[in-house]
């Protein structure tokens, strides 16, 4: 973390978990466990159908609510899809774009990610853009080149001004849901390389202010060590964000003075 230059953001990604009726009990518990977050922003990204309940439940708690995906088109004949304006109309502030599960199971590419980033920014949403390598790619030694390409393509055509609203999440695919966390050094190496790519495109000032999260089996035990790294400005948390005590412990790790 480097609180002097950029925000620390702890975001939960509920994936396809939690019923709408489970949102308020979760929120009530989290609010009791974390009465105020001093140093970091907190976000809960939830399934579409949970979003109205989440916006309502977190309104008084300064917890931002995010979606897990959106369609890149403004509106029209796209059966089953959800637009950016539908999200903002509900009071949603963030959206995860290009999560590896969407790339893997739903055919999303760096180019569709780029289109969605533009749509989200146009609508006033804050995109959380996910990048990450597979185990095979890491073992072949191409992690940094691959991540650089993902970042450059995802941000293609995004202005320096709009970059203020973009969060990047580095999520190595081999660490997601596996209990295998990247070491703090491995995670920081890639987050620092991402900052370098942003510096090349936008200059030092934008690079210094962009929030870069780590995600992949981040939990209440390893959060403090990961967050102590200079280029890791928060987390995108799957499994541990489903349990109020665990998610609160991660927020508290980011809140330390």
**Residues within window 132-191 making contact with ligand 13P, judged by CB under 6 A:** 171, 176-177
Q: Which of 125, 194, 218, 226 forms a contact with ligand 13P (CB under 6 A)?
A: 218
The radius of gyration of the chain's CA atoms, rounded to the nearest angstrom, is 17
CB-based closest residue to ligand 13P: 238
Q: How far is the CB of 254 from ligand 13P (least distance, A)?
A: 15
**Residues within window 55-94 making contact with ligand 13P, judged by CB under 6 A:** none
Q: Is 98 in the site for ligand 13P (CB under 6 A)?
A: no
118 catalytic, yes or no?
Answer: no
DSSP characters for 78-92?
Answer: -TT---HHHHHHHT-
Q: Is 244 in the site for ligand 13P (CB under 6 A)?
A: no
Active-site choice (68, 72, 133, 171): 171
Q: Is 18 in the site for ligand 13P (CB under 6 A)?
A: no
Contacts of 184 (CB under 8 A, 6+ apart): 222, 225, 226, 228, 229, 232
Contact 148, 189 (CB under 8 A): no
C-alpha dihedral over 217, 219, 224, 227, to 10 degrees? Answer: 40
Contacts of 167 (CB under 8 A, 6+ apart): 9, 11, 94, 126, 127, 128, 129, 210, 211, 212, 213, 234
Q: How far is the CB of 225 from ligand 13P (least distance, A)?
A: 15
171 catalytic, yes or no?
Answer: yes
Question: d(Cα 37, Cα 208) in Å, to the nearest integer?
Answer: 23
Which residue lies nearer to ligand 13P by CB, 70 or 236?
A: 236
Q: Is 106 in the site for ligand 13P (CB under 6 A)?
A: no
Q: How far is the CB of 93 from ligand 13P (least distance, A)?
A: 17
* Residues forming the site for ligand 13P (CB under 6 A): 13, 99, 171, 176-177, 215-218, 236-240
The residues carrying an active-site annotation are: 99, 171
């Amino acid at each position: 973390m480097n609180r002097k230059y950029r925000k620390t953001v702890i975001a939960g990604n509920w994936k396809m978990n939690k019923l709408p009726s489970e949102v308020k009990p979760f929120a009530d518990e989290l609010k009791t466990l974390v009465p105020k977050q001093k140093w970091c922003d907190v976000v809960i990204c939830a399934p579409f159908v949970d979003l109205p309940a989440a916006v309502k439940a977190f309104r008084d708690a300064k917890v931002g609510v995010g979606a897990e995906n959106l369609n890149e088109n403004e509106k029209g004949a796209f059966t089953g899809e959800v637009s950016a304006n539908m999200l903002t109309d509900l009071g949603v502030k963030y959206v995860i774009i290009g999560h590896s599960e969407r790339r893997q199971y739903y055919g999303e590419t760096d180019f569709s990610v780029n289109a969605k980033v533009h749509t989200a920014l146009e609508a006033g949403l804050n995109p959380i853009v996910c990048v990450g390598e597979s185990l095979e790619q890491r073992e072949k030694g191409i992690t940094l080149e691959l991540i650089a390409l993902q970042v450059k393509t995802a941000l293609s055509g995004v202005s320096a001004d709009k970059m203020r609203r973009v969060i990047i999440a580095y999520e190595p695919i081999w660490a997601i849901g596996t209990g295998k966390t990247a070491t703090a050094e491995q995670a920081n190496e890639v987050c620092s390389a991402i900052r370098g790519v942003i510096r090349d495109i936008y200059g030092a000032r934008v690079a210094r202010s962009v929030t870069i999260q780590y995600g992949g089996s981040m939990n209440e035990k390893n959060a403090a060590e990961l967050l102590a790294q200079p280029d890791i400005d928060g987390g995108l948390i799957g499994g541990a964000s489903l349990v109020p005590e665990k998610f609160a412990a991660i927020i508290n790790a980011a809140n330390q003075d």
